[in-house]
Amino acid sequence: MGRTGGFRRRSPLLVAITVSLGLIAAGCGSSDPAPANPATPPITVKPDPLAHAKFDTRPGPADAVLTQRGDDTRLGWNSTESTLTVATVGSKNFGKRAAYPVDGKVYAQPLYVPKLPVGGQQHDVVIVATQHDTVYAFDAHGTGAGTPPLWQSQLLQPGARTFQAASDRVGSNQLCDSITPEVGISSTPVIDWAAQRIYVMALDVEHGKLTYRMHALSLATGEDVQPSTVVSAAVPGTGIDAVGGKVAFTASDEQQRMGLTLVNGVVYAGFSSWCGVSPYHGWVLGYATKNLSRAIVYNATPDSYEGGLWESESGITVDNHGHLFIVTGNGPYDLSSGGRDVSDSLLEMVPHNGTLAVVDEFTPFDQLCRNQHDQDLGSGSPLLLPGNAEMVLSSKTGAVYVLSNGKLGGYTPITGDACKQRDHTNVDKIKQELTINSVPGGMWGTWGYWASANGTYVYGSGSDGKPTQWRLTGNGTIDPTPVATAPESFTFPGSIPVTSSNGGATGTGIVWTIDQTNGAVLRAFDASDIGDEIFDSARDAGRGGLDDTNGFNHFDVPTIADGLVFVGDQSHLEIFGLLNS
């Protein structure tokens, strides 16, 4: 990513390999490189096998939060919240209700399960995972410190320890300080409502070797319901780390931060790099829920390098047909010329013969320029808009893309030097394009959304920018003139918003986000006018503040459910809500 807390910075080794292989052309506007391995065709499938399939993107109770950003579309909108309104959150009756101590930093978004039977009684349960490889279940209405968890599960294997990424010299002696002091569970788990299980990806050091394991835990007890599975994989390829015509998954090269995704009996995990240190690839690995056997192996750059899957810790986006949408980061691209490397691309994919096949894709005309200047498309995550069959995406350049789901646009190279023509908005064959820096500073996150009685809005901000509100027009495009901006600028990575409301009712829409400009602060804004800030947790730091000791997770997202707001910080699960309820 090139910024603290991000996923990539180019190593001298990678630059040397890039030059020696000639995989980056000398000029920004050079034509597509030849396929690295033309004898092996790209994995594509047409017609779309899921075109008429149906998939429930939000299983379980309406007020449950079972996956990152609330549902598989990653919309981040709780549309059934009637307790938290602009008036109640803006009153003196809203603040921190409880703080549960935990044993490590919380990077995963808290999950919420209402009316869950635990120990013979029903509880409204919050699930929290830490970098010390521990998963907790807390009563959402408990008093915090002094109240024990409903259950606690330690996923470190016997004799193992957590990974000290900034100082450990395991694997290839690659050091990374994006998460300190330890790395255990970084990604948001996913809950299988029908099976009453929670799936968790945990990392530890076993016998001196970095090891990822996929776990299936009982929601009622936190215990493994079957033995965990060690993550491993290999694909045919000629990439820079290939041996004998195969590229193997290596935990010391791959960091797993994207939220887990459950689709049709398979749990998917996306991987990128440790601080961009080469060699690495973008991997998607899927595990069958019935026995945790490996069901899917996909590598975005099998014949080259990079193409990491990051999306600022959001999960893989899924539509109501079951298509998987992933956005890759920097690296070579040759899909349009018959190759298999798809960096800086939005891919619409389906399971196919044990891997993922591309049914549609979008790659910006300036992909080569992006790769040369560390301007990943995959720094952002797509927002799948309800009802319009379209997506909104931004990235490090701050350009904004509105894409038609079902006709993403492919890749359209430009004649001449693309780096000198990046202000063009009529080259890519998409529904709408706003020029670079439309999101000032570039986006390291995703968008918020609210459909109100008076209009439909999206929210977001760039790095070191102000949270901003835009209106969607009747045909689903974005009015490029902002409706409003928040009073303050946020430091890197900017605002990553989620929203809550009672449908489109006036006075109920709220934009929630965490600001880390001067210490971690939970902020809330009136969704009808983001210029109106109604709450910040720093007003009473002694009671309402967040713990940002030794740095804060840049990509934390609050969870809003059932009249409560849950935030994981450096040492606690913090619970906000009405104080006299």
Contact call for residues 470 and 482 (beta carbons, < 8 A): yes
Tell me the mean pLDDT in the region 244-265.
Answer: 97
Looking up tokens 């994006």 gives 178
| Percentage of the chain exceeding pLDDT 90 | 84
Q: SS3 for 316-343, per residue? A: CEECCCCCEEEEECCCCECHHHCCCCEC
Pick the closest to residue 176 from 354, 399, 4, 431 (CA basis).
4
- Structure token pair of residue 2: 């090139």
Q: What is the pLDDT of residues 133-174, one digit of tens each?
A: 999 999 999 998 889 999 999 999 999 999 999 999 886 667
Tell me the mean pLDDT in the region 541-549.
Answer: 77
Alpha carbon 517 to chain centroid, angstroms: 21
Cα 111 to Cα 501: distance, rounded to the nearest angstrom:
18
Coil, strand or helix at 438: coil
Coil, strand or helix at 97: strand
- What's the pLDDT band for 21 if we cut at 50, 70, 90? very low
Amino acid at 408: L
Cα 57 to Cα 166: distance, rounded to the nearest angstrom:
37
In this structure, of 26-35, 325-334, 342-351, 565-574, the range with the lowest mean pLDDT score is 26-35
Say whether pLDDT at 29 is over 90. no
| Percentage of the chain exceeding pLDDT 70 | 92
Say whether pLDDT at 564 is over 70. yes
Say whether pLDDT at 86 is over 90. yes
Beta carbons within 10 angstroms of residue 438's beta carbon: 20
The pLDDT, as a whole number, for residue 569 is 94
487 to each of 441, 533, 545, how far by Cα in Å? 17, 8, 20
- Structure token pair of residue 167: 């100082």
Looking up tokens 């602009």 gives 86
Per-residue buried b or exposed e for 339-369, using 16+ beta carbons within 10 Å of the residue's own CB: bbbbbbbbbbbbbbeebbbbbbbbbbbbbbb
Cα 574 to Cα 567: distance, rounded to the nearest angstrom:
5
Model pTM?
Answer: 0.94
**Residue 215: which H helix or E strand, with range?**
strand 209-218
- DSSP strand pairing (432-434 vs 400-404): antiparallel
The pLDDT, as a whole number, for residue 40 is 62
393 or 42, higher pLDDT: 393
The pLDDT, as a whole number, for residue 541 is 67
The DSSP code sequence of 237-286 is: ---TT-BTTEEE--GGG-B--SPPEEETTEEEEEEB-STTPSS-B-EEEE
Alpha carbon 117 to chain centroid, angstroms: 30
The pLDDT, as a whole number, for residue 539 is 83
The DSSP code sequence of 3-39 is: STTSS----HHHHHHHHHHT-S-SSTTPPPPPPS-TT
Pick the closest to residue 86 from 528, 450, 504 (CA basis).
528
Alpha carbon 352 to chain centroid, angstroms: 24
Cα 359 to Cα 47: distance, rounded to the nearest angstrom:
8
Cα 63 to Cα 81: distance, rounded to the nearest angstrom:
8
Pick the closest to residue 336 from 44, 543, 29 (CA basis).
44
Provide the mean pLDDT of the chain.
Answer: 91
Between the two ends of the chain, the Cα-to-Cα distance in Å is 43
Say whether pLDDT at 247 is over 80. yes
Say whether pLDDT at 10 is over 80. no
Residue 78 neighbours by CB under 8 Å, 6+ apart? 63, 65, 70, 498, 499, 500, 501, 560, 561
- What's the pLDDT band for 444 if we cut at 50, 70, 90? very high
In this structure, of 196-200, 491-495, 508-512, the range with the lowest mean pLDDT score is 491-495
Cα 77 to Cα 511: distance, rounded to the nearest angstrom:
9
Calculate Rg over the CA atoms of the chain: 22
Contact call for residues 525 and 466 (beta carbons, < 8 A): no
Tell me the mean pLDDT in the region 66-84.
Answer: 97
Coil, strand or helix at 86: helix
The pLDDT, as a whole number, for residue 309 is 98
The pLDDT, as a whole number, for residue 67 is 98
Say whether pLDDT at 211 is over 70. yes
Tell me the mean pLDDT in the region 28-49.
Answer: 60
The 8-class DSSP code of residue 148 comes to P
Strand order in the sheet with 468-472: 448-452, 455-460, 468-472, 484-485
Tell me the mean pLDDT in the region 520-545.
Answer: 90
Tell me the mean pLDDT in the region 8-12.
Answer: 41
The 8-class DSSP code of residue 543 comes to H
Coil, strand or helix at 78: strand
Q: What is the pLDDT of residues 340-383, one digit of tens each?
A: 999 999 999 999 999 999 999 999 999 999 999 999 999 999 99
Contact call for residues 219 and 196 (beta carbons, < 8 A): yes
Q: Torsion-angle region of residue 470: left (phi > 0), alpha (psi -120 to 50) or beta?
A: beta
In this structure, of 269-273, 492-496, 524-528, the range with the lowest mean pLDDT score is 492-496
Cα 152 to Cα 175: distance, rounded to the nearest angstrom:
30
